[in-house]
């Protein structure tokens, strides 16, 4: 029993020793995990702060990089220009991007508005479509209208910026009756440089957060890094979209054209007083008929409005008129009897004039006399 007790004691000591070793290992793992978490958080904060500092100085760095790359690009352009100069389209003077002293290519957006009066609208419209096709442009919008005095249409075109000025010159070559045009330019170079700098900073932040996502060991850290990465990628897409929009408008200029053909026959007839006799008679007769028609229309409208009043007046006036007519007939009958009695008086000798029964009848008789 003593030997067995010693063995149990030895194994107990071994088990306790192993438990102590396991506890130390767990503590070291927790410490390592905490240190890794602090390291990732510090790295993320450092990446954010360095990205912000890069955004503050991004424009200067981009300008410096463009300045450093400008001589090499100029040399390449000089060396290769002799071979491809014939194939390239030379922009018209005054309407092409230029490089400043710092080596930054200017971003200019041109827009023109043209109003043309032509003799033949259909022919001019076809010629404009052909010019757009030859210039390598396209029609964005087209609308057509026709009135009593003119026929015309409106174009919204996009033509390559390299052929912007030459396209306007070709429009003058269509020989319009009158031509009005205005040209506007917008310099977006500063905005474009700022977008480039912001894009570089955001792309650097994206690369760092991708590394953080790969090295993250805890779920909470992974979620935070993924959310931040998604926000950065959204901003990158917005910046790229704005840059594509600027590049598109710089590469293709916008031209708005209004073409119209006045109706010469109607304008001449309106401006000239030497119209034929039959035409003037027709106009006079038509005018008289219009006046009479208008008069009768107003008469009917007035009668319709006065009809209720006329009905009320008739209900009042007609009974009065009928009563007066009846009284007049009665007075005529009595007067006839009186005259017959006066005529028979001298022959009878005893017949005296009949005195009126009432003062009203006497007054009526006097009034009738």
Q: What is the DSSP letter of 90?
A: P
E-strand stretches of the chain? 108-117, 138-146, 150-160, 178-187, 252-262
What would the pLDDT profile of 135-191 be if each residue is shown by its tens digit? 999 999 999 888 888 889 999 999 998 889 899 989 888 888 888 989 999 899 899
Indicate the burial class of 113 (C-beta count within 10 angstroms; 0-12, 13-18, 19 or more). middle
Residue 65: its pLDDT value, please? 40
Residue 276: its pLDDT value, please? 75
What would the pLDDT profile of 52-84 be if each residue is shown by its tens digit? 444 444 444 443 344 334 333 334 333 433 333
Edge-to-edge, what's the strand order for the sheet holding 178-187? 138-146, 150-160, 252-262, 108-117, 178-187
Residue 241: its pLDDT value, please? 94
| pTM reported for the whole predicted model | 0.47
| % of the chain at pLDDT higher than 70 | 62
Residue 252: its pLDDT value, please? 92
């Amino acid at each position: 029993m003593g030997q067995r007790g010693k063995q149990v004691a030895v194994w107990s000591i071994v088990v306790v020793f192993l438990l102590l070793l396991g506890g130390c290992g767990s503590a070291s793992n927790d410490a390592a995990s905490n240190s890794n978490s602090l390291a990732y958080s510090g790295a993320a904060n450092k990446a954010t702060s360095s990205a912000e500092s890069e955004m503050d100085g991004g424009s200067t760095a981009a300008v410096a990089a463009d300045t450093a790359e400008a001589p090499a690009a100029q040399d390449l352009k000089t060396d290769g220009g002799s071979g491809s100069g014939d194939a390239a389209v030379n922009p018209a003077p005054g309407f092409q991007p230029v490089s400043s002293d710092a080596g930054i290519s200017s971003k200019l957006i041109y827009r023109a508005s043209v109003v043309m009066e032509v003799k033949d609208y259909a022919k001019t419209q076809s010629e404009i479509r052909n010019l757009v096709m030859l210039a390598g442009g396209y029609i964005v919008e087209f609308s057509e209208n026709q009135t009593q005095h003119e026929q015309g249409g409106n174009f919204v075109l996009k033509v390559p910026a390299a052929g912007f000025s030459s396209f306007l010159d070709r429009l003058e070559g269509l020989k319009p009756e009158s031509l009005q045009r205005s040209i506007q330019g917008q310099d977006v170079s500063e905005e474009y440089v700022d977008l480039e700098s912001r894009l570089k900073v955001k792309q650097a932040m994206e690369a760092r957060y991708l590394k953080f996502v790969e090295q993250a060991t805890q779920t909470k850290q992974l979620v935070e890094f993924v959310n931040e990465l998604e926000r950065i990628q959204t901003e990158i897409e917005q910046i790229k979209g704005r840059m594509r929009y600027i590049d598109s408008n710089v590469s293709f200029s916008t031209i708005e054209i209004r073409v119209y053909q006045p109706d010469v026959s109607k304008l001449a007839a309106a401006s000239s007083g030497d119209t034929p006799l039959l035409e003037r008679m027709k106009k006079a007769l038509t005018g008289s008929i219009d006046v009479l028609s208008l008069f009768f229309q107003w008469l009917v409208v007035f009668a319709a409005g006065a009809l209720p009043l006329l009905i009320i007046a008739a209900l009042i006036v007609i009974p009065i008129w009928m009563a007066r007519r009846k009284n007049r007939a009665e007075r005529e009958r009595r007067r006839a009897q009186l005259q017959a009695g006066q005529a028979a008086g001298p022959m009878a000798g005893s017949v005296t004039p009949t005195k009126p029964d009432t003062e009203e009848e006497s007054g009526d008789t006097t009034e009738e006399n």
